[in-house]
């Protein structure tokens, strides 16, 4: 890639970015990806984040230490054995000091730990609970993972694994949003006099619902083979070029017009752009261009285009 450079480094906040969660204390018991991903976003919004890990640690640290390190920047990590009475006592002390508890256990496991909402709210009425589960309702007890939730939404094609963990990452976004919702709801209740400032709320985030949300474009037909961004539009394609590939997103009429003119076509209305003949013509033209030539053309014509290696 030459026009834009990708990076696995964590996204940096602008120097004067707002800190809507400044002063909010979040305690997380969540492992692997969705919970730590949500915690990373909350820390970026100014929250004070603490994570309690079992003696064996977070599995993510073993199989992908780089990802673990990225998600735990600015997070205070402590070890606590919740299978012991002493560990549960220490947990209760931590809960008393927290504003939000973030979990990713099944409901039955939460209940065994004394973290079911009724019992938790009774002991710590000020505390908000954000629960990450696999699926909503009774299905929360059924085992699942990112792959199964994506498969359920027709996001797994052929025999290839998905290129990203959409359910997990989408769940992390929804969980950080739920933290914001909980804090806002708590503040609004107090402001309107409907509840004390110490009245916490419970919110649930289902990874299956995160996958369903991200799959809406496919369900609507947008990314199906006959959809404009699914392969039917000649200006929204990945074409082979002379020394690599090119991802072009000339979807809007003015972009499509520039792409057509560059390739030697005069007409670029929607009907033309959805024609197989137009795709064949542009494909043949792209095949004769180098990555450097296409990048230069994209700059000259202001085209949304990215070249890639073979």
Q: Give the residue extent of every domain in the chain.
A: 25-219, 228-308
What pLDDT score does 26 carry?
98
Which are the contacts of 40, defined by CB distance < 8 A and separation ≥ 6?
10, 70, 71, 72, 73, 75, 172
Per residue in 153-173, pLDDT tens? Answer: 999 989 999 999 999 999 999
How high is the mean pLDDT of the chain?
A: 93
CATH architecture of 25-219: 3-Layer(aba) Sandwich (3.40)
Domain pair 25-219 / 228-308, same fold: no
Indicate the SS3 state at residue 188: helix
Residue 215: closest CA among 237, 232, 230: 230
Instruction: Answer yes or no: is pLDDT of 196 > 70.
Output: no
Residue 40: closest CA among 79, 81, 18, 11: 11
Per residue in 90-112, pLDDT tens? Answer: 999 999 999 999 999 999 999 99
- Determine the Cα–Cα distance for residues 169 and 26; give it in Å rounded to an integer: 19
- Rg for the chain (alpha carbons), in Å? 24
Q: Which two tokens stand for residue 304?
A: 């949304």
Q: What fold characterizes domain 228-308?
A: formyl-coa transferase, domain 3 (3.30.1540)
For 92, counting Cβ atoms within 10 Å of its Cβ (0-12 exposed, 13-18 middle, 19+ buried), the class is middle
> Tokens 């710590």 map to which residue?
124
> Tokens 């640690």 map to which residue?
57
- Determine the Cα–Cα distance for residues 161 and 153; give it in Å rounded to an integer: 14
The whole-number average pLDDT for the span 210-218 is 97
Contact 288, 242 (CB under 8 A): yes
The whole-number average pLDDT for the span 17-40 is 95
């Amino acid at each position: 890639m030459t026009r834009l450079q990708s990076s696995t480094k964590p996204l940096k906040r602008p120097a004067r970015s707002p800190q809507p969660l400044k002063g909010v204390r979040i305690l997380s018991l969540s492992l692997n990806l969705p919970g730590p991903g949500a915690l990373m976003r909350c820390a970026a919004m100014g929250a004070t984040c603490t994570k309690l890990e079992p003696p064996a640690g977070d599995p993510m640290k073993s199989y992908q230490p780089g990802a673990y390190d990225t998600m735990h920047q600015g997070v205070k990590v402590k070890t606590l054995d919740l299978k012991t009475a002493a560990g549960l006592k220490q947990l209760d002390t931590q809960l008393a000091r927290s504003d939000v508890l973030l979990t990713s256990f099944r409901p039955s496991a939460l209940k065994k730990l004394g973290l079911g909402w009724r019992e938790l709210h009774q002991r710590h009425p000020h505390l908000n609970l954000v629960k990450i589960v696999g699926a909503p309702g009774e299905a929360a007890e059924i085992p699942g993972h990112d792959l199964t939730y994506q498969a359920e939404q027709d996001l797994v094609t052929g025999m290839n694994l998905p290129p990203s963990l959409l359910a997990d990452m989408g769940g992390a976004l929804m969980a950080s949003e739920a933290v914001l919702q909980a804090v806002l709801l708590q503040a609004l209740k107090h402001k309107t006099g409907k509840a004390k400032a110490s009245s916490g709320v419970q919110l649930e985030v289902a990874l299956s619902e995160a996958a369903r949300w991200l799959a809406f474009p496919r369900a609507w037909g947008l990314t199906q083979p006959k959809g404009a961004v699914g392969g039917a539009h000649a200006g929204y394609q990945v074409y082979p070029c002379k020394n690599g590939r090119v991802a072009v997103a000339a979807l809007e009429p003015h972009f499509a017009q520039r792409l057509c003119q560059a390739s030697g076509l005069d007409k670029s209305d929607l009907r033309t752009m959805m024609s197989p003949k137009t795709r064949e013509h542009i494909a043949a033209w792209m095949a004769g261009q180098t990555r450097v030539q296409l990048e230069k053309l994209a700059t000259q014509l202001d085209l949304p285009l990215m070249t890639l290696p073979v």
